[in-house]
Structure 1
Amino acid sequence: MPETRARLLAEAEVLLRTRGYAAFSYADLADRIAIRKASIHHHFPTKEALLAALVDEYLARFVAKLAEIAHAHDDVRDRLRAYAHLFLDGIEHGLLPLCGALAAERAALPDSMRPVVARFFRLHLDWLIEQLDAGIAAGTIDARVDANDTAHLLLGALEGGSFVAWALDEPATMLRAFDAAMQSLTPQRTAPASRRPSPRRSS
């Protein structure tokens, strides 16, 4: 049934973002939604198939969310802030970022999923670069900013901030590095050079 499949994916995502891929089993999943393991195998014959379906659906939701953010905010800095709050919302609900959770267990993932994890991070970076380039063109981001380097900086601040906040159990600290990075993007306004008075000519 479609609703059973949806529940399995939702609960598997929670387990993945809290325990990790290697640390949960179909028995854990069966306990969470009170069904038999055989029923899970009916929908997802292997754990690899479950993970592939989970990531595909998550990526579809994520892409839709990025489009929604771009549509809702004209200012690039507001878009970046809304993007950062996607990470904050997860931490406030006790969930690590899915991409970070997967990357942390890269060695334990099926070989087929490793390129998917790389593509997941590339999706983040490409979107950030697009926003930064737009901000530079609009004059809301400092023109001296390198969009590629800064995209890595912002994503690293959010992924790393998520793990630090998770370890400390202090969600409010999650955006500290991101906020500091954002301050560095503000265009630097140089004061106009003062005009020296022309020397008076003697009559």
Structure 2
Amino acid sequence: MKLFRKLLLLPLVMILFLPLASMCVFMVFAGSSSASIDTDEIIVVSGEFVGPFEDDRYVITSDPGNRPSLHDWHAGIDLDRSYGSKVIALTDAIVYDASARCDPDGGYIGNRCPYTNMGGCGNYVVLRFEHEGHIYYVTYMHLSKLHVVKGETVKKGEVIALQGNSGNSTGSHLHVEIHQDKHVLGKDHWIDPRTFLDLK
């Protein structure tokens, strides 16, 4: 008799439980999708650009181009203000990518951190914006600390990170690299950072 009652109760429990369970699952997935990051958003900008530091108290330690002593072609420009100096966004932009997986002061030649397609960049921030019909990707590398996350919108002059010595680095500095219409590193789609940055 007890078994018979249990068998009768089972369909009733299932009828009540299944809609409740499915509603909970829907709410979980609906909540996660509303918090998803859209890095395809484009911010169109015009006017002057700023940075990469809050002031001009920095030195340029390596220009773009061939570097025979290091047997490479340098796709960006290296600047040094001091370890921990505030790095600012050159314009309004979307944070297209960002990573803080590396030791902020663990840089050395040959260090491939973060061991991805951005290997050797150390801790980095990539900003994305549109200007005069082209999309630009600005990568700030070898950072010690990030103040932004992927998918965030930043304003011109906003602090996005601090200078560091992470990844494939000989010492504390900031490497800035800019590419047009495609997010890559190196010579492909490369443009001179001085196109946007009024470097002293």
Q: TM-score range by the shorter chain?
A: under 0.3
Q: TM-score w.r.t. structure 2 length?
A: 0.28
Q: Which has the higher strand share?
A: 2
Q: TM-score w.r.t. structure 1 length?
A: 0.28
Higher RCO (C-alpha under 8 Å, 6+ residues apart): 2
Q: Which has the higher helix share?
A: 1
